[in-house]
């Protein structure tokens, strides 16, 4: 995006959300009883997406995990494109991370207010294909900014390999935001390694985002380079997915 829209206090507003393909899990038993919704269309999907659009509106950059690119289970609706339209984001990009053809197409996606200057897509190392990072280059308050939208694996060994890959990307740019579902806590060995070996830092406190109906685990993160500072961090306590949103306002340190 040539220049991200800024709030009155010159903050860049960021939001990351694993939307779980619009399934709408709001209780533990939904993890089992709604399992069929991962592969079959269902009537609640569209109303869930419309409410998600309301929640993610008003930001500058939104990163989405597990948005479907348009397959049988969503009645061939591209969920990122739908959310961009409904939430008022004129620009959006996506990376298909797990392509099951007509059945399902998981993506990492970004919604933004101005056109990205450059977008790249990276496959992350994994025993099974399906993990990736979307690299978006933009400008914030006259300075270049690289935003990485990532979704990491479930196993610690795999995540460590993915963190090493991310570290190389982070070191390639002076100003970076990394956000997404990292599937581990900020206190985990893999996140601690990333923070120790790159200029990234975490917010002063971690907010739990999973499971959305009783959040106890901080699996979703917004990490920023040391040229940026956090102004605030919040979640939206509405269980439209098995994850909650995580949003932050950041600014340049000087």
CATH code, 48 = 3.60.10.10
| Mean of the per-residue pLDDT values of the chain | 89
Q: pLDDT > 90: what percent of the chain?
A: 76
pLDDT average, residue stretch 31-57: 73
Q: Between these two residues, 243 and 7, which has the higher pLDDT value? A: 243
What integer is the mean pLDDT of 163-191? 98
Q: Could you tell me if residue 122 is inside a domain?
A: yes
The confidence band for 29, taking pLDDT boundaries of 50, 70 and 90, is very low
Residue 243 within any structural domain of the chain: yes
For residue 4, being part of any structural domain is answered with no
DSSP secondary structure letters along the chain: --S----TTSPEEEEEEE-GGG----STTHHHHTGGGGTS--TTHHHHHHHHHHHHTT-SEEEEEEEE-S-GGGTT--HHHHHHHHHT-SEEEEEEEEE-TTS-EEEEEEEESS--SEEEEEEPP-SSS--EEEEEEEEETTEEEEEEEEE--SSHHHHHHHHHHHHHHHHT-SSEEEEEE-SS-TTSHHHHHHHHHSSEE--SS----BSTTS--B--EEEEEETTEEEEEEEEE---SSSS-EEEEEEEE--
Across 176-180, average pLDDT:
98
Where residue 25 falls among pLDDT bands split at 50, 70, 90?
A: low
Q: What value, to the nearest 5°, has the Cα angle with vertex 123 and ends 109 and 117? A: 50
Please write the tens of the pLDDT for every residue from 42-52. Answer: 556 888 999 99
User: Which tens digits make up the pLDDT trace of 74-86?
Assistant: 889 999 999 999 9
Range of the domain at 129: 12-252
Over range 210-237, report the average pLDDT: 97
Question: Is 6 within a domain?
Answer: no
**Token duo for residue 65:** 């995990």
Would you state the pLDDT for residue 24? Answer: 72
Q: Which pLDDT does position 220 carry in this prediction?
A: 98
Q: Which of 38-52, 55-69, 186-200, 214-228 has the lowest mean pLDDT?
A: 38-52
Q: Which two tokens stand for residue 216?
A: 């106890």
The reply to whether 3 falls in a domain is: no
On the question of pLDDT at 33 being above 60, the answer is no
2 within domain boundaries: no
> Which pLDDT does position 122 carry in this prediction?
97
| 135 lies in some domain | yes
Q: Which of 6-15, 51-60, 204-213 has the lowest mean pLDDT?
A: 6-15
Residue 23 falls inside a structural domain: yes
- Domains of the chain: total: 1
């Amino acid at each position: 995006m040539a220049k991200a829209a800024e709030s009155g206090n010159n903050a860049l507003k960021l939001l990351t959300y694993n939307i779980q393909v619009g399934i709408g899990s709001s209780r533990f038993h939904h993890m089992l009883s709604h399992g069929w919704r991962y592969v079959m269309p269902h009537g609640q999907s569209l109303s869930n997406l419309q409410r998600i659009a309301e929640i993610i509106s008003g930001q500058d950059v939104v990163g989405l995990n597990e948005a479907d690119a348009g397959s049988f289970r969503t009645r061939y609706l591209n969920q990122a494109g739908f959310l961009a339209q409904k939430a008022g984001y004129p620009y959006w990009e996506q990376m298909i991370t797990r392509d099951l053809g007509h059945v399902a197409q998981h993506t990492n996606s970004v919604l933004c207010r101005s056109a990205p200057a450059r977008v790249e897509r990276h496959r992350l190392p994994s025993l099974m294909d399906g993990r990736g990072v979307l690299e978006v280059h933009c400008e914030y308050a006259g300075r270049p900014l690289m935003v990485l939208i990532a979704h990491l694996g479930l196993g610690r060994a795999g995540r460590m390999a993915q963190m090493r890959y991310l570290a190389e990307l982070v070191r390639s740019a002076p100003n970076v935001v990394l956000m997404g579902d990292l599937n581990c806590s900020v206190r985990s060995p893999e996140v601690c390694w990333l923070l120790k070996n790159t200029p990234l830092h975490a917010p002063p406190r971690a907010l739990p985002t999973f499971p959305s109906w009783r959040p106890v685990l901080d699996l979703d993160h917004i990490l920023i380079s040391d040229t940026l500072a956090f102004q605030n961090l919040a979640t939206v306590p509405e269980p439209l997915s098995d994850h909650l949103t995580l949003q932050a306002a950041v600014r340049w340190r000087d």
